[in-house]
Amino acid sequence: MDSGQWHVEKRSTLRNESFLKEYGPVSETGSLSIVVLGASGDLAKKKTFPALFNLYHQGFLNPDEVHIFGYARSKISDQELRDKIHGYLVDEKNASEKAEALSKFLQLIKYVSGPYDSEDGFKRLEKAISEHEISKKTSEGSSRRLFYLALPPSVYPPVCKMIKAWCTNTSDLGGWTRVVVEKPFGKDLESAEQLSSQIGALFDEPQIYRIDHYLGKELVQNMLVLRFANRFFLPLWNRDNIANVQIVFREDFGTEGRGGYFDEYGIIRDIIQNHLLQVLCLVAMEKPVSLKPEHIRDEKVKVLQSVMPIKDEEVVLGQYEGYRDDPTVPNDSNTPTFATTILRIDNERWEGVPFILKAGKAMSSKKADIRIQFKDVPGDIFKCQKQGRNEFVIRLQPSEAMYMKLTVKQPGLEMQTVQSELDLSYKQRYQDVPIPEAYERLILDTIKGDQQHFVRRDELKAAWEIFTPLLHRIGNGEVKSIPYKPGSRGPTEADQLLEKAGYLQTHGYIWIPPTL
């Protein structure tokens, strides 16, 4: 028996003895302990805790079962943590109607201070969790423990080691221990595999939830329904009809004080290798056998394994002017803040169709969308091809919508054509239906044990295999970043690359979100 196993079994015996002595019979429903590691950091207060509160307010977290623990190095009290996150949990406009729920939610939060690589802090954390479980009359092995690592990847291995040794469940009577890890999961194939091996040696794959919040977005989750529940898309979704696919992410601001951190990763690691590549999988994958998580993830892996090596001539990198003015950024930095790259999928459905992934900071607008551009209509009897091609656009953010760009007759006595759209805008169509934040959905999936919207280990490996050679060439200075002005579309070379790939831009047409 190793020392970690001895600790677990010894702790189990002591817990059962104290439980039976003080509380008698156990409850049939196991308690739920949610532990946010890195509780005093930005990610926790801006995303994790607000998502937990919204789940609680909507009734998805039972106050009779759940307790929330914050863990970090900061030496603060329970109340100081509550005060720290309070302002992020509700908007001013609905603060009064949520005041009672907010007060009760904050009382569910307990804070434990300690280092990430020392057993003392995790012993205190285990003690706090056990006290909660005992108070809920939870039998040993039926408790549920969720550990959310809102931490840098560098501390994942020691933290997971401490969780495994001191804070996991000891048996399986309907209970579980699950670990959620945030991106970036490694910096290249080698570091990602090393991290996967370290965590994989401690936890089984069904216990590990690699979160990519883009997979929790409403319109991304709609992709499989759109593709496989609508007959008219089935015969169109292939190389015979689709000219190109664009997946675009733009931000209208720069690194804003995060330059030093961002410079270690760049836009490809930060956005393209994970968020946009996950969207590509859903656009390009074949129909899964069922909606079981493993069947869906199997098809995503097949897509990634079919992606051909990226050619340097199909990549444009950019860096906005002023990026290096940040004192934390090296003066000779080649780190891209903008990238356009073309991926090509070598299979029967997509041969010859360029998938254009484009992301940038300090751009002219803020948006994320998927743009499916169809081929020209053969025999242009209306002489309208210059007005633009048919496009199916899925607007991920902001103003969630999907619309089909069509050529129609312009009203009037003349036979003139114009581009218009069939439009489904969510704010207009679903006025009384709140669209949940991605983190809410993904945390709830974790509690339910649904890994459909999380990244599997072989999926992560395949994603890094695509981009690692390019990232190494960028790191070696073989591919240079081109300067571009903040507030622009990025380098003009990127537009030239799109044109070379066969994308035809529509001039004169602008989609305007409908007003309520």
**Do you know the residue count of the chain?**
516
> Rounded CA gap, 421 and 514, in Å?
11
395 forms beta bridges with 369, 401
| CA–CA dist 365, 111 (Å, integer) | 40
Nearest to 185 by CA among 464, 470, 475: 464
CA atoms of 376 and 478, how far apart (whole Å) = 37
In 3-state terms, what secondary structure has residue 296?
A: helix
**Peptide bond connecting 184 to the previous residue in cis, omega within 30 degrees of 0:** yes
- Please tell me the distance from the alpha carbon of residue 462 to that of residue 85, in angstroms, as a whole number: 37
Given CA atoms 473, 476, 480, 485 in this order, what sign does their dihedral have?
positive
Distance between CA atoms of 329 and 322, rounded to whole angstroms? 10
CA dist 443 and 213 (Å) reads: 10
Phi, psi dihedrals of residue 210, rounded to the nearest 5°: -85, 110
Integer Cα distance of 262 and 319 in angstroms: 12
Strand 315-320 to 481-484 pairing: parallel
Q: Phi and psi of 394, rounded to 5°?
A: -115, 110
Report angle CA 435, 439, 441 to the nearest 5 degrees: 60
Residues annotated as catalytic (active site), given as ranges: 275
SS3 of residue 455 by DSSP:
strand
φ/ψ (deg, to 5) at 181: -120, 140
For the beta carbon of residue 385, count every other beta carbon within 10 angstroms: 12
- DSSP per-residue letters across 85-119: HHHHHS-GGGTTTTHHHHHHHHTTEEEEE--SS-H
Residues contacting 162, CB < 8 A, separation 6+:
116, 117, 118, 119, 121, 122
Residue 213 contacts residue 205 (beta carbons within 8 Å): no
Edge-to-edge strand list for the sheet holding 391-397: 417-425, 401-409, 391-397, 367-374, 242-250, 354-360, 338-344, 315-320, 481-484
| Sheet (strand 454-455) strand order | 109-113, 66-72, 32-37, 144-149, 176-181, 208-211, 454-455
